[in-house]
Structure 1
Amino acid sequence: MQLFIITGASRGLGLALTELALNEKHLVISISRTNTIIHPSHFHLSHNLSTWKGLETKLMKAMGKIDVKKVRAIHLINNAAAIEPIGEIQDFDQTEIEKHIALNFTTPIFLSRWLLNTFKKKTCPVTITNISSGAALHPIINWSLYCSTKSGLKMFTDCLNEDFKHRKNFRALSFAPGVMDTDMQATIRKQSKQKFKNVERFKELKDKRQLLPPDKVARGLYDLLQSPEKVDQTFYDIREM
């Protein structure tokens, strides 16, 4: 039995990962504002991930319901993220900026710290997977915040691997899921050309059915996590697996 801690689990990739892990008879702690899955092995934490306040208390309460001695692998998957605000930085509201950075960057760091502290005595495989993007590697017009937070999260992932080289049971991964058919893509397609100059390209991906289904991406990541001894990279892209 393995333990999966998944953020942004109410839809898209997070929901697909939650359903897959439960179908494979694992335990799941999911963190999102809403929940549609009722299952005896599913512990849902209702929380707005743009703030860390109160989340650690909720996590510890959920851990109190789990027999950690029976867990043979632990996975934290930082999946929750926002694409908005899109546009030019001078047009963004300060609160929008703060919430975006907290959700996409700060909260995954806090969760990683919590995981490493909570399970520092466990000898089973412990993996932190930060859901990444091509935007972590290349600048995209009008996506200054998204590109910056994804790039920062990738660097944080790389640093974790450097810091914990001595811990043989630990890995940190950046996982790029490609362009998926999710609500985030729908949000991108709704942008005006004035706000996002490349919007037509994303509409074309949908029209030509070139968006990946979340359940297929979830299976690719799940299979990767099942063979930690074979993980020899810090960055994986579903399109190259």
Structure 2
Amino acid sequence: MSKVLAIITGSSKGFGKAIAEEIVKGNPNKNQLIDLVLFARSLDGLKSTKESVETISTNAKVIDLQSLDMSNIPDVELKFKSVLENIKWEEYSKICFFNNHGTLYHLGRIEDFSDYKNIQKDNDINTTSFVVTTSLLVKKLKELGSQYSPEVTIINSSSLCAIKAFPTWSLYCSSRAYRDMFFQSLSLEYKSNDKFKVLNYSLGILDTDMQNQVREECSEEDKSFYVGLKNDGKLINPNRSASICTNLVYSNKFETGSHLDYYDLDK
């Protein structure tokens, strides 16, 4: 039986870990084997995700996990390419790539920016490495030739910030808009291939470490809003959002290149 392959970046915690769990839980074919390839900075976190995934189902196996700093672009290219070379592609009828990694950036007014070196580093995490990993994957799939034609879905972990600007969020908003537009262009390049789909999935406001950071760093006028979301139980469980995303991936019922939002889908 042909297997599913899920490649997930930023998979040591939060939404990335939830995606790894839900891609296993949500498979409508309960007898199908699922292999996972996991990337993140924290090796301990990756090991935790591996243990969780392989506990959910005996059909799930983490075939590779890689500790990787996405700000180190030469290392990203080298390691990601090496991992792709070692995958036995012919075993898979469905390939899912969740390009999920990212960082919040600095929250603040543009006139107050000064740490430009770290801004460049965060840009490499949020955009350059995003381009590198996506490009290497589609390049590898092309190298395999037309005789190999799995169903391919490439997912960007997106945000409302990709399509709407917010004061003090300029760096994060612009990076998310970049990623969405990059994927829209990718979808157009592959529009003639009905087995290749691209999705910008907006996660919703999740109850993760990122929200802890937002509450600590946001402006005073925004703080009451974000603290209220936490105190009122309005933050979304990462696994709930991930299950919506993986259901989309398995159903394949979305227009390639589209931006779909958790809040519009969880009804």
TM-score surpassing 0.5?
Answer: yes
- Secondary structure of the corresponding residue to residue 39 of structure 2: strand
Q: Distance in 2 between matches of 1:174 and 1:116?
A: 17
**Partner amino acid, structure 2, of 1:188:** V
Closer, same or farther in 2 for the Cα pair 1:60/1:152, shift >3 Å?
closer
Give the superposition deviation at 1:198: 1.3
**How many residues end up aligned between the 2 structures?**
238
Residue from 248, 251, 255 that aligns with 1:232: 255
Q: Runs of 5+ in structure 1 lacking a partner? A: none
> Where does residue 240 of structure 2 map in the other structure?
216
**Partner amino acid, structure 2, of 1:94:** Y
Residue from 120, 123, 143 that aligns with 1:98: 120
Give the superposition deviation at 1:63: 3.8
| Maintained 8 Å contact 2:38/2:66 | yes
**TM-score, normalised to structure 1's length?**
0.92
- Secondary structure of the corresponding residue to residue 226 of structure 1: helix
Residue from 129, 138, 144 that aligns with 1:116: 138
Closer, same or farther in 2 for the Cα pair 1:41/1:169, shift >3 Å?
same
- Secondary structure of the corresponding residue to residue 41 of structure 1: strand
Closer, same or farther in 2 for the Cα pair 1:11/1:74, shift >3 Å?
same
1:93-145 CA-to-partner distances (Å, cap 9, x unmatched) read: 11221122111111111111111111123311111111111111111111110
Q: Distance in 1 between matches of 2:80 and 2:127?
A: 19
- Secondary structure of the corresponding residue to residue 235 of structure 1: strand
> Where does residue 55 of structure 1 map in the other structure?
76
Give the superposition deviation at 1:64: 5.0
1:140-170 CA-to-partner distances (Å, cap 9, x unmatched) read: 1111100001011111111111122122211
| Maintained 8 Å contact 1:30/1:44 | yes
> Where does residue 67 of structure 2 map in the other structure?
46
Q: Runs of 5+ in structure 2 lacking a partner? A: 28-32, 55-59
| Maintained 8 Å contact 1:100/1:145 | no
| Structure 1 residues 89-238: aligned runs within 5 Å | 89=110, 90-120=112-142, 121=145, 122-191=148-217, 193=219, 197-228=221-252, 230-232=253-255, 234-238=258-262
| Maintained 8 Å contact 2:7/2:98 | yes
| Maintained 8 Å contact 2:15/2:242 | yes
| Maintained 8 Å contact 2:99/2:130 | yes
Closer, same or farther in 2 for the Cα pair 1:171/1:52, shift >3 Å?
same
Closer, same or farther in 2 for the Cα pair 1:14/1:92, shift >3 Å?
farther
| Maintained 8 Å contact 1:82/1:104 | yes
| Maintained 8 Å contact 1:85/1:96 | no
Greater helix share, structure number: 2
1:70-104 CA-to-partner distances (Å, cap 9, x unmatched) read: 11111111111111211123324112211221111
**Partner amino acid, structure 2, of 1:93:** D
Q: Distance in 1 between matches of 2:218 and 2:75?
A: 37
